[in-house]
Each structure stands twice: as C-alpha cells, then as structure tokens.
Structure 1
C-alpha cells in the first residue's frame, strides 16, 4: 500500500442522528451537515418516482440532457460543463487531471479539509496559508500550480471578494472556486470562465437543491479542462435516478429560491439570537450555516449532543483558534429548539 495512505486522515463527516441515538438513546436533529432542511419540490418527487421504473437501465453516458439543463440554468455552453458523483468526486478528478508529484497546491485556511486529502493522494506539495476569517488577499497568495478557494467558505461562511479572485486568476495558474453554497448569496464567479481559461468552478446539488442523498456535482471551466475531466470520470458515475431528479430540480428553481429566502431569514435570526448569549459569538455568513466561537472551553458540541442536537465541532481545525462549532440553519422549529437549548445551558 502507498505510504501516503498511512499519513492522511480519513475525512471526518461528523456525527449523525444514528450515532446520537446509539450513544445517548435520543432522537437527534442534525444541524451539522449543512443540508437543506426542507422537502424537495413536487417536480423532484415525481421525477424520482418515475425514474424508479427504469433503475435497471444505465443513464446516457454523456449526460447530455443533464448538461443541457445546467447550461440553461447558468447560461454557459454545455461544452464547459463536466459532471460527477458529488462535488467531492469533481474535486478528486481535478486533482487527478492537474496535479503531478511535487506540484504546488495552495490551500487557504481555515477551509474545507478534503482539499488537502485529495492533494496529498496525488503526492502534491501542499502549502497552507492562513487568512483570519478567510479574508482572502490576492497579494498574499504564494506561487502555486493549483489553488483551492471555497466561496462561501466552509466553515467561516463568507464569500471571497470577486476582485480578489480576478487578481489571482490574472496570474494564469489554475484556480478552483468551490461554490457548493453560492446559491445562498448569489456571489458566483462562474461568469468569469468566459474570461479566464484557468478557472474551474465547482458546484453541488447537495445544499441549495437539497439532494445530498443522491450525490450530484458538476464543474464549469474552459473546454480543454472540461474535456480532461470528462475523460477521467468513472463511467455512469451519476445514477439515472439522480440525473432525472437533478434535471427536475433545475426546472423547479423558483421553489428552491423561495426556500433559500426562508433559510437566509432564519440564518440571520440565528446569528442575532446566538450573539445575545454570553460566551458565544456568531459570525456573519453568506451560506446556510453559521460559525460560532465559544469564548472559553466548555465543549459546547458535546453539551448539545446530550440534549439531542448535533452541530459540527470544528475546534482544532487549522486556522481556527479556540473552541468553535459550525451550526447548520435548520427549519424554524429546529432553530427555535437550538436557541432555547443554548439559553438553558447558562454558559456564563
């Protein structure tokens, strides 16, 4: 087995309701995974049920209908779209396509931990650079072959300023902008793929469209990069069911925009209410989650688990100092329960 396998850490997806039920005997709400808490559109439900009668069939190998739907959604050419089994699959394919041994991959922190794992698996040279609150400054980015940006960033929640992205792109090196959460703020740079051949934008259907259980992602970039990504993706990597459902989701985007407005309103309410609680500081966010700093070590994530609420404990994540938790914006009822529970803890 390759030595790097013994060096890397397995990706930590956090705890799930099944884990809490086993450990505490409690039914828990999951405010850890940044999922959409609301049900899918009627069109999505109908597409799912209809597709079940064809699960004995492969999807079209080129995913032409799916790419056409994405093209119409974003206003980009189909030739600039590559698909994958979730954004993580796309990110892996990008590393396979672009990184050779000892190539420099730069990862600003605090950020999404999967980038480093994928880069290390390519035997790339990984350089982390810390930006407090993920306030990216183009002039402070060191030389690189591949740069990973997350916008809005996980876990801090803020989007990277467009002017900084453009300044970095002007260097001519490859830049990945992970926009898994961008529909919550409409601060996309996907239009810049028409201006910069070195830009690759990665998107997901797991967050805004609420299809986390189906694993659907895609990339947008120049035709040469996209051709490469399409060459190396595994055949039939998205099931026919998932593909049909994703197309239905794109066709019912108005429904999801309304849900987005609800989530954003609840997010802002969460931030306001959490900031009233002693020892807690919630940062502003452009995403569907909120990063919270705990001013003294109290193991807040554990205290919430014991009361049936799962949040992501990001204490110890590179680039974060002190205790932090990341909280997904849930339904109004879930958020009410969270706020009530936090207030009952008497943290001061």
Structure 2
C-alpha cells in the first residue's frame, strides 16, 4: 500500500501532482486531456508524478465542475472485424489516458440494433461527444438522418463535409504495397478487394489503381471478396498464375487464404506468385511464408480521434480530416518474379 492509499489519508489532487511535477495545475489538466501542445519532457514529468502519487482523477468532481459526463459515445459497425474492433480498443485506451470513459453500442442491420437505437441509448447516458466507427457507407448514410447535435467524429478514410473524420491513410498504404511489387519487377498485379460498401476497401482499391496507373501498367477489374480467408482460398485455388505474378489482397485474412489456395496447386509463394496483404495481423509474421503487409497504427489513430473529439468538446478548432500514415512491413511473401 502506498502512502497515498493509507486509511485516513486524503487522496492526492491535481494540485498535489502539479506541485510534485513543478508545473501548474492547468498543465496537468492538459496532459490528462491529451493536449498536443505540451513539450515531451513536461509531459513525461507530469506522467511520472501521476504514477508516483497514484493519482486518479475523480470523474464525478470533473463532471460537476465542467457540466460534462467525461464520457464518449461510440457507435461500432461490424465490431467483429479486425479494423473496427482494433479501433474501438484503441479508443478505449486513449480515452482512459485522457480521463474519459467509453460507452460503446454495436450497430447492425437489425431494427433493434440500428443507428437510431444506438444513438438513443448513448444520448440517454449524456455523452459529451460521439465517435462513429462506420466502415460501411450504408451505416453512415443512416447516421446522417439521425444526428443529435453532438460533436461527432467518424472513423473513415474519406473526408466528410458534415463531420470530423480521422483514419489510417488506406490509399497511401495500398500504393506503398503495390509500388513495392512494381519495384521488384512485377508487371501483372491483380487485386483481391474487400466489399465495396466499405470505405477502407474502396480506398485500398483506389491506391492499387493509382500505383498501376502511375507506372503505366494495365489495370484489370479487381475480384471483390468478403474479407474471409475462405474467399481468399477460393481465389487462390482458381487464379491463373500464367497471367499474374503478384496479388495484392485487401486484408491479411484473404491473403492467408490466397497463399493456401496457391500452395495446394503447387504454386510457390513468392517464387511463382508474390502476395501482399493489409492490416498486419499479430500472426501475419508467422504465416508460411511470413506475410508482407501494411501495418495500421490503431493506437495512434485512437489518440488522434480523442484529440479531435476533446477539441470539439472544448469548442477549439481542429482539422476537419486528419490521418495516420501506415507502414509497409516487408517479409518473405514477396520477391522478384522468376519470369
């Protein structure tokens, strides 16, 4: 038990933290709220003081003082998919760091779990702002008809004239993946796309097209998949390897299926066909062969989204759209073409 936790001792306040760190209480508040204009050394000193004093900000006291609930409502479409699920977890971590809590509602096409039901449930909790993880255009279309006047941010790859948006730059990630294949010498690169109702899938397909166009290469219609490794397996089982030396799959799960389907036909990856995925799943580096893919930094995305939401709550100006740069992870599933 620490000194601050002993029975009868008053819990440390934000002013105690400020005294220990040698800063003002407003600086401590800005650090807790994730304010970007704090010097790294100052931020680190404040965080050390918070840890040393075992300081926990009282959400009740903060709510009474600011007339806020310190709670962000999150609507999540397709929460079982890797991207939406990872984004939600990143938001939860960023919110805790900023002294906020998250109330999440999973939406679907069922009337009892639609956008209107989710908004009603979150508004009833008095949330200060709304974050929408809306990977599909259909879910965002429903949101536009049920706005509640709250500061709203949507996680999607495209800017929006009505709401703040933030995302990992999907088009840039796809272009980096395809340019890597082009630099290796590939000239016939096919795309296994995700469902085209998904913003990310459309942006990745556009990045594939743009990279091929920039290199003066032929663009054939992509095959549209459903994100699953089973679909990738079916694609790899029927791919005409004589007309394609590389595959850019819109996610790692479909890429895994592609490799499996090719391997069963005796087609070597990357000797005969190179394969690139997108997401960098935790197991992607353990695929056989380890998968070249595009990593999305969801932690940075969550922190960015929280900065924008807090600025909107505080009435401060912030860019209407901001994005996180992805990172190409080079592994053994890509190589120069043999022929």
Which TM-score applies when normalising by structure 1? 0.32
Which TM-score applies when normalising by structure 2? 0.33
